[in-house]
Amino acid sequence: MALALCTALGAFGQTTTKANVVVLATGGTIAGAGASAANSATYQAAKVPVEKLIAGVPELADIANVRGEQVFQIASESFTNEKLITLGKRVAALAKDPGVDGIVITHGTDTLEETSFFLTLVVHTDKPIVVVGSMRPGTAMSADGTLNLYDAVVVAADKESRGKGVLIAMNDDILSGRDAGKRINIKTNAFGSQWGALGSVVEGKTYWFRAPVKRHTMASEFDIEKIDTLPMVSIVYGSGEMGTAMAEAAGKAGAKAIIHAGTGNGSVPNYEVETLRKLRADGVQIVRSARVPDGFVLRNSEQPDDKYDWVVAHDLNPQKAKILAALALTRTSDTKELQRIFWTY
Ligand code: DGL
């Protein structure tokens, strides 16, 4: 009797039942294929189906009960708001399933940071949701996708991953889906955050050192179940001699907000200020972000945001600010409320 009990409970008194993890595949390089093993950067993304991705890492079975779903098969630069919403609704539905303990999303790395931030803002669950990609296709020498996928499933199966918001597993790092992004475009250590990793995965074990402090998932005021479309938000990239045509065109195209990816601390050229003020007067929200990767934009520093009725993006880069602005505009068009939202998430 004692032996049976011990076997059933496992040697350390833990149950031997493994976590149930669902892999939602969307495409990208992790599903890519190149012409030869020497092609680590020249390949076709979004070719390998999810079943093959899972079969390519038999060790996953040691960690969790894993099954796959092919949601899309696209390169992530081709993601649209519609695809973000479709993915978000599928993730939310799976998170509600008591038979699902964790979710992994395989994704192209180009817009992985937007998807991770979007999901952490709209999916109400404390179950682990882990987004993963790769910088090399599986056909390349020293491909990184198999270990990244293994790490992602380890994180998704780990109870300690719960309640930390959407996570990114890349290159042995566990990163926050809120503030991590692609910082290098041709190396396997491509992803990082100016605020550092939350932890690491080594040989199938997670090591945690930090947890996010910004609101996310269960504490978010945004709910994917109440979102079916997102308003148009445009990013205008700041530079010397940037002219006013891009901001004017965004306004004409119907942008409800313009993210100004300013030089320095979100600076705006004097000739651009009048254009942005006119757009604000026409009802377009103006959000000052920065083209500089690290730091954060100070309110009323480079520009009198109070006077102009503008918003600052805090530490969010332009592409993340675009996601938050679009979601915020589904709930309010009040500038003070928008600014609160940018301080909060
Ligand atoms: N086309 C890019 C994408 O799907 C390839 C980059 C990658 O996935 O690593 O994001």
Give the end of a domain, one of 219, 250, 276: 219
CA 275 to chain centre: 31
Q: Whose CA is nearest to atom 10 of ligand 1?
A: 108
CA of 183 to the centre of ligand 1 (A): 13
Interacting residues of 35 by C-beta distance below 8 A, sequence separation 6+: 42, 43
CA of 113 to the centre of ligand 1 (A): 12
Q: Which of 43, 24, 40, 16 is nearest to 32 (CA)?
A: 43
On the 0-12 / 13-18 / 19+ scale of CB atoms within 10 A, 4 is exposed
On the 0-12 / 13-18 / 19+ scale of CB atoms within 10 A, 14 is exposed
CA of 221 to the centre of ligand 1 (A): 31
Q: Which of 195, 167, 40 is nearest to 107 (CA)?
A: 167
**How far apart, in whole angstroms, are the C-alpha atoms of residue 257 and residue 233?**
5
Q: Please identify, by atom number, the ligand 1 atom nearest to the C-alpha of residue 29.
A: 8
Contact 296, 288 (CB under 8 A): no
**How far apart, in whole angstroms, are the C-alpha atoms of residue 225 and residue 92?**
8
Q: Does residue 83 form part of some domain?
A: yes
Same domain, 49 and 112: yes
Q: Please identify, by atom number, the ligand 1 atom nearest to the C-alpha of residue 112.
A: 10
Q: Which residues line ligand 1 (CB under 6 A)?
A: 28-29, 45, 75-77, 108-110, 133-135
Please tell me whether residue 285 adopts helix, strand or coil conformation: strand
**How far apart, in whole angstroms, are the C-alpha atoms of residue 66 and residue 53?**
11
Q: Please identify, by atom number, the ligand 1 atom nearest to the C-alpha of residue 135.
A: 9
Q: Please identify, by atom number, the ligand 1 atom nearest to the C-alpha of residue 75.
A: 4
Same domain, 44 and 185: yes
Best residue among 29, 106, 171 to mutate for probing ligand 1, ranked by most atoms within 8 Å of CB: 29
Indicate the pTM of the whole model: 0.94
Same domain, 210 and 238: no
Confidence (pLDDT) at 35: 77
Q: Does residue 53 form part of some domain?
A: yes
Q: Does residue 225 form part of some domain?
A: no
The parts of the chain modelled with pLDDT lower than 70 are 1-16
Q: Whose CA is nearest to atom 8 of ligand 1?
A: 108
Contact 100, 24 (CB under 8 A): no
Confidence (pLDDT) at 5: 46
CA of 48 to the centre of ligand 1 (A): 13
**How far apart, in whole angstroms, are the C-alpha atoms of residue 60 and residue 169?**
15
CA of 304 to the centre of ligand 1 (A): 39
CA of 145 to the centre of ligand 1 (A): 12
Q: Whose CA is nearest to atom 1 of ligand 1?
A: 75
Q: Please identify, by atom number, the ligand 1 atom nearest to the C-alpha of residue 28.
A: 4
318-328 and 112-122 helices, crossing angle to 10°: 30
Same domain, 18 and 132: yes
Confidence (pLDDT) at 125: 98
CATH of the domain at 18: 3.40.50.1170
Task: List active site positions.
Answer: 29
Same domain, 41 and 66: yes
Contact 90, 71 (CB under 8 A): yes
Task: Find the domain containing 135 and state its range.
Answer: 2-219
Confidence (pLDDT) at 33: 83
Domains identified in the chain, total number: 2
Q: Does residue 226 form part of some domain?
A: no
Same domain, 189 and 158: yes
